Every structure is written in structure tokens, then in C-alpha cells.
Amino acid sequence: MTTATAQADRTVLGKPESPATRIVRQLSRAPVHLTLLIIGLLWLVPTFGLFMISIFDPARAATEGWWNIFSDPSTATFENYRALFANDQIVASLKVTALVTLGATILPVVIAALAGYAFAWIEFPGRDWIFIGLIALLALPIQMALIPIFRLYNTLNIYDTIIGLILFHTAFALPFAIFLLRNFFIGIPKDLMEAARIDGASEMRIFFRLILPLGLPAVASLGIFQVLFVWNDLIVGLTLAQDNQPIAPVISAQLRQFSSNLDLIAPAAFVSLIVPLTIFLAFQRYFVQGLLAGSVK
Amino acid sequence: MTSTSASVAGESPTAVPPPQPSLWRRHSTALAFLGPALVMLVVWYVYPTIATVIRSLQSDQGSEFVWFDNYRRIFTDDVLVTAIKNNAIWVAVVPAAVTAFGLVFAVLTERIRWAVAFKFALFAPLAISLFAAGVIWRSTMYQKDPNIGALNHVIGVTKEAFSPAGVLSEAQPSTKDLKESKDGGISFARELRSGDTALLGLTAIPPDEIPSNAGQAADPEPVQSGIAGVVWRDFKPGGGKPGEVEQEEQGIPGVTVELRDQSGKEVQSATTATDGTFAFRSVGNGSYTVAIGAATFAQPFGGVSWLGPKLVTPAIIIAYLWTAAGFAMVVIASGLASLPRDVLEAARTDGASEFQVFRRVTVPLLAPVLLVVFVTQIIGVLKVFDIVLAIAPASTRNDATVLALEMWRKSFSGQNQFGVGAALAVFLFLLVIPILILNVRRFRRENA
């Protein structure tokens, strides 16, 4: 195609569309719209189905499909949820989950912010090598730590404690958190730092007054990430706790009698997922930012 | 040393600036900032890594060094070999599938106004734990009973629409005059000629399978140059005589009866009336057989065993794709948004079709992003644990198992095989080392 005709085409494209052309163009894309609509709806079915089971009379759930609730909506019952919140073990595990999530979000964010600042703005020998070691740790499987930490926790008497779970999650959040924050802090204009230093501000002062406020978006997305990650954990709680387990390990113990325990499993699973889902919904923007900044974990 | 501190030191009244204290002060600041992180990394990363490597060389009790015995067990233990195979399947299928799904969805949603809603639907499962995702799929989709499991329900309904279950699923011949044919139908043993009649008596029919319009069975009237017969329930309260149509015995309406010639080819078919009778008219010379086709006895759909030994891994993989596709879509969509518009436009104005633009321009430009998604998925898939634990029932856990799950089971589920558990952890670590190197290389290139 010659340049001349290309130019001509471009002029045609540049013309405002007549309504007829627009309708034709929209119609030609109708199959795409329809396909996406169907896929999108299908994607929601499983989660929705779990909610349906959770409000289904257990006797009926054993013999009927959850979709039958549509034909007879009056049979929906919140009895399963009432029983769930009357179950001491479940309530205790939800508390443990909340406390561990809280502690294991704040602690790593603080520690990683300090370290991230050091890696970004303080010179010290071996800085680059330590940072490269940190990046290498990003891919280390959690399984590598389980056996020795299980032993260590028993020796230190912090097996089956909330603090033990918080410390484990904190440590395993650090490489990613430091990586993310260091990369964000390093983007802060150098002049700003130099000016603060010439004014005689201490590193601590610079950190709290300059870096943290400027780094808030990164800290926020890291926090959201960590809340979801810790709340959703199974393997750490399963390995390092017994009577003080978070919700996911407690549900997993019920899976052995899956069918007969479904009236407990379904509402418990739904409660356990609605919390991170809500947080995700509320802070989606930060979550996506974090995801894009470091899809390496 | 930064120029700032050097110049500050140079202006101090003592002509010879002592660099040591300043240096130390700088390092002590760095240490104060880094200290907590370094301590934690040493205790929770460095020490366990060394300890696990040593532990993997010791016996399960930890009493003696067995060197590489534990690693040999990984490749000889049946369950562990299955785990390796399953991990290989996961790595071969999932990263490619997730990347492909993400790419297609990202491109399709690119110029759609309500894309946000679609993206949310696909992205939401990412906020849910893999464990909860497993519980979701197991309880809503994968139950075997088509009355409870959504997937089997859909298959059952579809199947019923195309090949409905037979009128009689459990019926048996009542006399030796009938025999079960190889294809699952029932045929009359004797050969028939024009003018003959056939009595097709059946028993063992559950009462709820008798059609509601069934009436008193009738003896068939012979038909001129035809073959007549009756299909009836050869049983009445108290028993009755097998092979005879009696009072209180019901005809079975709606059964398709076939007339076959000597080669076994179907030449006519007829449907029974309310009294169970049927007739073939204008039957030529020669001998024939009469049979009830297999379709009449077709069993209703009993459900696919999604969580049986054969399908359990594919079933878990499908559930995993459900959680991961949204991640890929969002990452790829952001890559797509940052592509240079003018390059794409230039390709279009040069007459390239949408598909050509996609294949020749979009995909090559997106390659780095696609690689990130692909590599992220490889790491995720090698460590996959929760979703397998949640979906595979105890009966097929050994068929669905993966390395990370076995590491945990051997060590902590009461088996106390810490030696082989540690070896499995190290094995997993070795598998991710290439990715680790890739990460480091990428970082060094970007910061060169």
C-alpha cells in the first residue's frame, strides 16, 4: 500500500461516523459482547453457588442441587450461619485470623519500609549484593522453612501461638515488601533528599517526614496485598498451630467428612472469603498497583 | 561515601577530618534501618535453608546421616513419583493456559465499555484463597450426583435432551423365549414368519417405571402378512404364570420394538399401544426376529466422577485456572494499555487484518509482559498446595498429590518422615532456582 492511499484511508477513518455505520460496527461486535457476557456470568457461578449452599437447609442440600433454591426461595435459611457463629472453635479461629492478619500486616510494612529506605538512600558496603540476595529469596519456597521453624518454635515455646504465626508471616513477607518499597522510594527525587540532608535533618526525620508520606501509595498497596495473603494462608497455620489455628486450617479439618459437614463448611468458607473479597473491592486500585509493581512473588 | 558528608567533614575546624567515626555513624544508621529485617531474614530464611538441606541428608528420625537416600526415595516411592508427574502436568498445562486466557480476555475487553464489570468478575477469585476456591469447586461443581453437582447436572440435562434415558432401565426377560442381546437390548429367541405372534414378557420392572397410561395387557391378534406381538409386565400381585398374558398384568406402552431380518438389519419399527400390543404390517417372506432396542433400557446418567482417580487432577487444574485467569488478564491488559498506539494504527492503516495485527504486532510487543505472567505462574504451580488439599477427597489424594503437598504430608500429617520431607523441600527449591536466577538477571539488567 502506498503512502498516498494510506493517507486517504486515514482521512476516511478520521471522518465522524454516521449513526448507521456505528450501529453496523456495534452489531459486528455483538458476538464478542455476548461471549464476554456469558464468560463473565459463568465466572461468578461457583462463588454464588457456595453462598446458595450456605443458606440451604442441610437436609435438602444432601439430595438437591443448590440451584433449586431459585424455584423455592422461601426455603433459604440463615440457620447455618447462626450455628456457625455459635460454634466456639470457628469464632475463636476467626479471631486468631484477624489478629494474625493485623499483626502480620503492620509489622512487615514497618520493617520493610525501614529496610527499603536503607537500600534506596543510604550507602553502606555490600548494599547491592545484599539486595540481590534478597531478590533471590523472593522465589524461595515456604516449604524450605517449615521443618526447622517447627522445631525452633517448639524449643522457644511459641508453637501454636499468635505471635509465632505473626513472626513467620512477617519474615516471609519481607523480601517482596522490601523489594517493592525500595523500588518505590528510589523514584523519589534526589534533590528532595539532598535538600533535607543539607538542612541537617537526621535519617530518621527524613524517613518519617519525607519518605513515608511520599511512599504512602506503595505502603497501601503492600498492606492490602499482605492482608489478603495472610488472611488466606493455609499452610503456615496448619503447620505451626494446633489449638489456635486460623480459619482455613480449621475448615480443612472438616473436609474429611465433606458431605455431612457441608452445612458448616459452606458458611465458614463463605465468611472466610467475604472478608478478603470486600477488602479487595474497597481497595482494588491499590491491589492492582501492587500486583503490577511486583508480579514476581 | 557521599559527597555531602565528605564536604561537611572537610569544613570541620580540626584540619584532618577523622573519617572513621563518620563512616561508622553512617553504617550504624544503615544498620538501625536494616537491623530488624536482617535479623528476621537470618532466623526465618538463612538458618532454615541450611538446616533443611542438612536435615534432608539425615534419616527420618534424624539419628544418622543417610546422605542421598531420601532423594532416591523421591524417585522410587510410588506416591512421590505420582506427585512429580502431576507437577509436570501442572507446569506443562497451567502457565501456558493462564497466559493464553489472559491474553485473549485482555485483547477482547480492550475496547469494550463495560469491561470493568467483566474484569471484576474474572479478577475477584484472586482475592479468594486457593483453599476457599477449592472448597467452592468441590461443593458446587464437582459433586458426582447429578442432582447436586452443577457440572454433572448440566451434562445430565444435555444428555437427556439428545439421548433420553430408556423407558425401562432395569427390566429382565420373564421366560427363556427372550434373550438379552449383545448391544444391551432384549430380543425374541425364535425366528418369526409372517402371521406369527411374539410374546415379549418382562419382569423386574420397578413400579415407578411403569408408564402412567399403561392398561390391561392384551394377547396380540395375528395380522395377515404381518407380525404382531405384545410387550407387557409378565407379573401380577401373587406372581402369575410366566409367558402368559393374564388378567391384572399391564401392557407397557411407548416401547419401540424393532423387526430385523436375518442379517440383523432393522427393517421396521413399531411402538407399543396402551395394552402393550404392536404390529408390523406388510412383512415379506423369510424369517425375522423381533427385538426391543438397547435405547429402551438405557440407564439414566449417573454422573462423571470428577474427583475419581482419572479426572481429579484435570478437575483441580480447571479450578486453579478459574482463580488465575483474572490475574493474567489484568497484568496483560496493563501491558496492552502501554503499547505504542501509533504502531498498531500504522499496521491497521497498512491493511493488516485485526488478527494479523494481533499476531504480528500486539503479541511480539507484549512478549515481556507475557513472560512475566508465564514465569509467575510456573512458580505458583510448582508450589501448588492448598487447592489440591481442598479438592481431592481422601480416596484419590494419592492420585492428585503434588510435591508441596507431599512435603507437608510426609512431615506433618502424623507420618513424621522429616528426612524425606526435607528432601522434598530441597527438591522444590532446586526446581525454582532457574527462576530465581532469571529474577536476579532481570534486576541486574534493569539496574545496570
Residues in A closer than 8 angstroms to B141, CB to CB, are 46, 49
Q: Does one domain contain both A244 and A263?
A: yes
Flag whether A2 is in a domain: no
Chain segment A183-208, per-residue pLDDT in tens? 888 888 888 878 888 888 887 888 88
- Structure confidence at residue A14 as a pLDDT band (50, 70, 90): very low
Long-range contacts (CB closer than 8 Å, 24 or more residues apart) made by A33-37:
A33/B112, A35/B108, A36/B108, A36/B109, A36/B112, A36/B118, A37/B118
Contact B132 A232 (CB under 8 A): yes
For chain B, positions 148-187, list CB contacts with chain A under 8 A.
148-150, 153
Nearest-angstrom CA–CA distance, B198 and B272: 13
Q: Of B30, B55, B80, which residue sits at a domain end?
A: B55
Domain-located, residue A262: yes
A9 within domain boundaries: no
Measure A243 CA to nearest chain B CA, in Å.
Answer: 15
Question: With 70 as the cut, is the pLDDT of residue B222 above it?
Answer: yes
Structural domain count of chain A: 2
Bigger pLDDT: A13 vs B298? B298
Give pLDDT tens digits for A23-37.
776 667 778 888 888
Does A137 sit within 8 Å of B45, measured CB to CB?
Answer: yes
Same structural domain, A26 and A134? no
Average pLDDT, chain B: 85
Do B435 and A53 make contact, defined as CB atoms within 8 angstroms? no
Are B202 and B283 found together in one domain? yes
- Considering only the beta carbons, identify the residue of B37, B136, B439 that sits closest to A112: B37
B7 pLDDT tier (thresholds 50, 70, 90)? very low
**Cβ-defined contact of A65 to B428 (cutoff 8 Å):** no
- The phi, psi pair for A207, rounded to 5°, reads -60, -50
Say whether both A273 and A254 belong to one domain: yes
Report yes or no on A119 lying in a domain: yes
Task: Write down which residue in B280, B297, B314 finishes a domain.
Answer: B297
CB A67 to CB B27 under 8 A?
Answer: no
- Which of B4, B52, B432 is closest, CB to CB, to A197? B4
Cβ separation A118–B33 shorter than 8 A: yes
Which residues in chain A are closer than 8 Å to B31, comparing Cβ atoms?
Answer: 124
pLDDT of A143 > 80? The answer is yes
The Cα–Cα gap between B418 and B429 comes to 16
| Domain match, A37 and A105 both | no
In a domain, B1, yes or no: no
Task: ipTM value, please give it.
Answer: 0.86
> What are the tens digits of pLDDT across the range B233-283?
888 877 778 888 888 888 888 888 888 888 888 888 888 888 889 999 888
- Residue range B37-64, pLDDT digits in tens: 999 999 999 999 999 999 999 998 888 8
Do B413 and B351 fall within a single domain? yes
Q: What is the CATH number of the domain that holds B227?
A: 2.60.40
Please judge whether B45 and A171 are an interchain contact, meaning their C-beta atoms are less than 8 angstroms apart: yes
- Interface contact A50-B138, CB threshold 8 A: no
B224 in a structural domain = yes
Residues B230 and B324 occupy one common structural domain: no
| Interchain CB distance below 8 Å, A279 and B127 | yes
Pairwise CB contact (< 8 Å): A279 & B351 = no
> Which residue, B297, B327, B345, sits at the end of a domain?
B297
pLDDT digits (tens, 9 = 90+) for B341-374: 888 788 878 877 778 888 888 888 888 889 889 9
Is A97 in the same domain as A30?
Answer: no
In this structure, the answer to whether residues B183 and B282 fall within a common structural domain is yes
Give A9's contacts in chain B (Cβ within 8 Å): 349
State whether A265 and B139 contact (CB < 8 Å): yes
Residues B148 and B274 in one domain: no
Q: Is there a single domain that holds both residue A154 and residue A181?
A: yes
Q: Tell me whether B201 touches chain A (CB under 8 Å).
A: no
Asked whether the beta carbons of residue B34 and residue A115 sit closer than 8 angstroms, the reply is yes
CATH code of the domain covering residue B403:
1.10.3720.10
A263 within 8 A of A58, measured Cβ to Cβ: yes
Mutate which of A140, A143, A258, A297 to disrupt the B interface (most B C-beta within 10 Å)? Answer: A143
Give the CATH number of the domain where residue A268 resides.
1.10.3720.10
Residue B115: is its pLDDT beyond 80? no
Answer yes or no: are the C-beta atoms of A268 and A251 closer than 8 Å. Answer: yes
**Do B47 and A63 count as a contact with CB atoms less than 8 A apart?**
no
A266-279: average pLDDT: 92
B61: in domain: no
* CB pair distance less than 8 Å for A134 and B41: yes
Q: Which residue of A has its CA nearest to B420?
A: A147
> What pLDDT, in 10s, does the model give residues B320-330?
999 999 889 98
**CA–CA min distance B365, chain A (Å):** 17
> Domain range holding B265?
172-297
> What would the mean pLDDT of B209-235 be, rounded to a whole number?
86
Q: Are residues B438 and B311 in the same domain?
A: yes
B322 and chain A: CB distance < 8 Å anywhere? yes
Any domain includes A12: no
pLDDT > 70: what percent of chain A? 90
Is there a single domain that holds both residue B209 and residue B324? no
CB neighbours (10 Å) of residue B131? Answer: 29
B142 φ, ψ to 5°? -100, 0
User: Do the Cβ atoms of B280 and B270 come closer than 8 Å?
Assistant: yes
**Average pLDDT for residues A102-118, to the nearest whole number?**
93
Give the residue from chain A lying closest to B323, CA to CA: A43
Pick from B44, B120, B135: CB nearest A251: B135
Residue A230 pLDDT greater than 60, yes or no:
yes
What domain count does chain B have? 3
Q: Which residue has the higher pLDDT, A46 or B31?
A: A46
Contacts made by residues B197-200, CB under 8 angstroms, sequence distance 24+: B197/B222, B197/B227, B197/B228, B197/B229, B197/B230, B198/B227, B198/B228, B198/B229, B198/B230, B198/B290, B199/B229, B199/B230, B199/B243, B199/B244, B199/B245, B200/B229, B200/B230, B200/B231, B200/B232, B200/B257, B200/B290, B200/B292
Host domain of residue A143: 86-293
Contacts of B120 in chain A (CB under 8 A): 284
Closest A-chain CA to B390:
A252
Choose among A46, A141, A277: nearest Cβ to B432: A141
Closest residue to B349, CB basis, from A9, A168, A251: A9
Same-domain check for residues A282 and A219 = yes
B305 touches chain A (CB under 8 A): no
Do B358 and B421 have their domain in common? Answer: yes
Check whether residue A68 and residue A148 sit in a common domain: no
